[in-house]
A and B are shown apart, each in its own frame.
Chain A
Amino acid sequence: MPPPASDAAALPHPELVAAIPRLRRYARVLTGDASRADDLVQDALARAWEKRALWREGTDLRAWLFTIMHNVHVNQLALARREAGNVSLDAEGEFGAAWQVPVRGNQLDRVELLEVVAQMGRLPAEQREVLLLAAVEELRYEEIATVLGIPVGTVMSRLSRARDRLRRMATEPPVPLKVVK
């Protein structure tokens, strides 16, 4: 039998693949929308390939990718808002109406989880972001400061405000929940 026709093609990079779920989660918390989030992750991965020479070996790839994605997002917002000249993330309620970070499957019965996610959606994006990175991803404050390009003190004060608002919301009457199946 003649030898089979054979050739090779590249695999997805395993460390990048491993980071994708966390990037998607961060992107959803940023954009509040699953398909926009995946577009953002795709753009961030493309940017990561372009900038791969700038990654320093031995540093946390996840934090580096978060940094890139944050910057891609801010740049996209800046483009969208060029007229207004407002490039910060702090506009409140920007995605409020569209906020649909899904809580899936067997969790649908856990009302308090739906509530905490819905409440998170009512925070300004800059507070959601800090809250995700500190409370969920459990990054060091210094790392968060690098990801967001802000001083550590600002990270800590934003985090404190985010938690405070979330705590106060928990005692307010609940808003209607938006569940995405």
Chain B
Amino acid sequence: MNPSALSDVDLNAYADRQLAPERAGEVEAALAADPALAARVAGIRAQSAALRDALDPMLAEPIPPWLLAAATPPSTRAATAALAPRWRWPALAAAATLVLGVAVGWFGRDAMIERAGTPTTFARQAAFAHALYAVDARRPVEVWAAEEKGLVTWLTKRLGVPVTAPDLNGVGYALVGGRLVAGNEKPTALIMYENADKQRLTLQVRKEAPDAGETAFHYAVENGVGVFYWIDDSCGYALSGNIDRAQLLAVARVVYGQLAARGAR
């Protein structure tokens, strides 16, 4: 082909691998004949790679809670809205009258199926373990946050499923550490967090049967300890704390969002 017929648009489309095969073949022949053209294409690709290198780390940033709330079906959103900077705490009053019920499917996919056989015993155990360890001022955990990497490696190994410690600093809770606790049949990982007022939350994780599916958030109160629990990706999760339901739900959504984002990568 005549190289002069090769436009910038052709070179860009070739560099982006968006040309039809026969046209790409023509461009390739022209590039082989003209090192300057080949250098242009290499330059375009290098520029794209530099942009990706510069902008890709943004994808790993934690998602703020108000954006997770915006990804939640609107009718059930009141509780998390309380954490958004755009809104104020009085919204919690509205959250107290939160309408409960069947989650709304989105795009025809019902990702929030509520199933029979919900493991209420897990919630009960989680509340007991929370009550036992969260009040312990000096030895609430076996492995402290300073050794977070060792902690998650150990828990992952003992549970046989990937365990991570979600980053809850965005909602004011710092990692304290974690421990292994005895469950009904299987070991449970306990990960503890604490806010500036020394209020503690625990996230407990255990492996579920592979066909356990996915459930909505369920809420239970045991001896004054509130527990949100759910199943996702063959793991059961229980978030326990002595804080009000709306705040606990807001934190639960952050935890869920981080785990979902991790699974999506």
Judge whether B216 and A113 touch: CB under 8 Å: no
Determine if B3 is an interface residue (Cβ-Cβ < 8 Å).
Answer: no
Q: In the complex, which residues 109-134 of chain A have their Cβ closer than 8 Å to any Cβ of chain B?
A: 110, 112-114, 116-117, 120, 131-132, 134
Judge whether B8 and A25 touch: CB under 8 Å: no
Task: Count residues of chain A with CB under 8 A from any CB of chain B.
Answer: 64
Determine if A83 is an interface residue (Cβ-Cβ < 8 Å).
Answer: no
A-B pairs with beta carbons under 8 A, tally: 194
Which of B25-33, B43-51, B196-204 lies at the interface?
B43-51
Q: In the complex, which residues 15-31 of chain A have their Cβ closer than 8 Å to any Cβ of chain B?
A: 15-18, 20-22, 24-25, 28-29
Tell me the interface secondary structure of chain A in the complex: helix
Task: Count residues of chain B with CB under 8 A from any CB of chain A.
Answer: 73
Q: Given contacts A24-B58, A157-B9, is CB(A12)–CB(B253) below 8 Å? A: yes
How far is it, in angstroms, between the C-alpha of A110 and the C-alpha of B43 when the chains are bound? 19
How far is it, in angstroms, between the C-alpha of A10 and the C-alpha of B100 when the chains are bound? 9
Q: Which 6 A-B pairs have the closest CB atoms?
A: A18-B264, A4-B220, A10-B103, A135-B48, A16-B71, A45-B70
For this complex, 10 residue pairs linking A to B, each with C-beta atoms less than 8 Å apart, are A4-B221, A9-B219, A17-B264, A18-B264, A20-B71, A21-B63, A42-B66, A110-B53, A116-B47, A135-B16
Residues of A within 8 A of B (CB): 1, 3-18, 20-22, 24-25, 28-29, 38-39, 41-42, 45-46, 49, 52, 55, 57, 61, 101-105, 107, 110, 112-114, 116-117, 120, 131-132, 134-136, 138, 140-141, 156-157, 159-160, 163-164, 166-167
